[in-house]
Amino acid sequence: MPTRITHFLHRSTVAPVAPPTAAIAGLTVGSVHAHDLGQYLPTFQSVKGNFRGIINGIWVKFTTATGAATVTMRLCADAAGDVVLIPDTAATLVPGVTTAATQWAAYSINLAMEQALSLPGNQTLYLFVSLDAAAGAAKFAESTITWQE
């Protein structure tokens, strides 16, 4: 009988308490969320250092973002945004049904990746976002990355 392969689905959500990060046009280190993808792993897995897994999806939420139509995201292995794991990818912002100022975008990734030994081996990946237009008071309010091992 063949071995059954089981995939474990994990998530990392960043929702700054106060205030949410300002969202601006152009990728900058001021509009980034740090995702610790090992935060819910058992200790024997989380101490290994480097992230290994399949990034399934990424969701981003903006508040007071009425002037923007698209968002571009970039996933990096470092806080400076120089070690790019997933290059710039655009998605349409979709407003809420009853609250048009709250807008969401989603990305389907399904990319297997592993942090190289030369990278910071802390299982933290950095999600940078940029709006297509300076949306005034727009805030990068929340982001979620789902992944599987």
CB of 37 closer than 8 Å to CB of 146: no
CB of 147 closer than 8 Å to CB of 56: yes
Sequence letter at residue 25: A
pLDDT at 64 over 70: yes
- Residue 46: strand, helix, or coil: helix
In angstroms, the CA 92 to CA 40 distance is: 30
65-109 per-position pLDDT tens digit? 777 788 899 998 888 988 888 999 999 989 888 888 888 999 999
* Nearest to 107, CA basis, from 141, 73, 138: 73
What residue spans define the domains of the chain? 9-114+124-148
Which range has the top average pLDDT, 20-24, 96-100, 141-145?
141-145
Q: How distant, in Å, are the alpha carbons of 28, 40, 71, 89 from that of 124?
A: 18, 12, 22, 20
CB of 73 closer than 8 Å to CB of 127: yes
The CATH classification of domain 9-114+124-148, taken from the options 3.40.50, 2.60.120, 1.10.10, 2.50.20 = 2.60.120
- Give the pLDDT band (50/70/90) at residue 124: confident
